Amino acid sequence: MNTSISRERIVIVGGGAGGISLASRLLRDGVKAQITVIDPAEVHFYQPYWTLVGGGVVQALDSAKLMKDVMPSGVEWLREAVVDLQAAKKQLTTDAGRIVEFDYLVLAPGIQIDWDKIPGFRETLGKGGVCSIYDFRQAEKTWEMVRTFRGGHAIFNGAATPIKCGGAPMKIMFLSEETFRENGVRGRTPVKFKTPGGVIFGVKEYADALTKVVRERDIQTEFGHTLQRIEPMTKEATFTVQKPGGSQETYTERYDLMHVTPHMSAPDWIKRSDVAVADGPLKGWVKVDAHTLQSPDFPYVFALGDAAGLPGHPKTGAAVRKQYPVVAKNLQTVMKGFPPTNFYDGYSSCPIVTGRSKLILAEFVYGNRIKSSFPSFMPSDTERYDSWLLKRYGLAPMYWYGMLKGLV
């Protein structure tokens, strides 16, 4: 037990994967501090299941538990939302008008879904052939649309912004395409993957493997294509495409089913605060050291998870699993008056489901370098059934009963 740390105020913003896991680890480490978790949510979601919900593999309720059942005993749970942060003053404000002061702050608020950034998206979401797995209820509606689809033009669009789990748009595409084949409508359903990016995946070895899959499945990939607008009445989508030389061309395409990846960003109060990156590719995200996860401007502030401004945007649950122990150790070190000594290597993992019995287990670190957990018997750059079993039956129990308990 660590008895050398005085009872100070640690505030953790966010009751998601990062916040709950960190709070549990700090309690296990015997930190003598008043720990407060701020989050208004009554339900905690295991969001990696939402692609499987949209693909008809699991039920939406399988992804949900009451927040009170995952909140660790021994912390104060403040059921309010943060609306303002002034790290320099060591205080934040909630939507109830409450001012919360802290000695140490950990930001793990997750990512903000900007549903209104694509005109026409919100009003047609969940009907008229437009779906998205990035919401508990909408994931269910996605499966209903895919299951009952009778053929036509199917479009799956990639991300125009950093998103949580960058491979999710492909996962739901592969699961949907498999369903089309099983239902006998694939022959009259051209499937397109349109993405603003220039490659199908940022790590070459995984990009090569995924390119092979889309070719075998006769899926058309279109790079440099960004969704700009949806016209629900005519079921048309407007895209811009980047042309050689830097010019853009605008065109409209009809859809019968379209899975849309919404824009995402750091929460607005983060973007307005003094902890946000001011400019550059990480603008708006929490400014932290890429390895210690500590703010360079406010040494008593740390961040982890989707809101952290990290190179390559490792916004996955697997990344959080590697980040929270680093933050826990570094926070305790800083509380003792020493600089942080533990380092995060940028690890992230994206189990890219390519069907209901196989997936490519993409694992990588900073610099888009592969870092396989089981390189000798589970190669990560090929479709595998054992990797699917890990995703389907292993990762969720590890999350609920290991990670959220501060154990793994």
Known catalytic residues are 165, 350
Return the closest-CA partner of residue 287 out of 115, 178, 297. Answer: 297
Three-class DSSP category at 383: coil
Three-class DSSP category at 182: helix
DSSP per residue, 76-92: EEE-S-EEEEEGGGTEE
DSSP per residue, 257-314: EEE---EEES-HHHHTSTTB--SSTTTTSEE--TTT-B-SS-TTEEE-GGGEE-TT--
Burial of 397 (0-12, 13-18, 19+ CB in 10 A): exposed
Burial of 251 (0-12, 13-18, 19+ CB in 10 A): exposed
Q: b/e per residue, 208-242, with b = 16+ CB within 10 A?
A: ebbeebbeebebebeebbbbbebeeeebebbbbbe
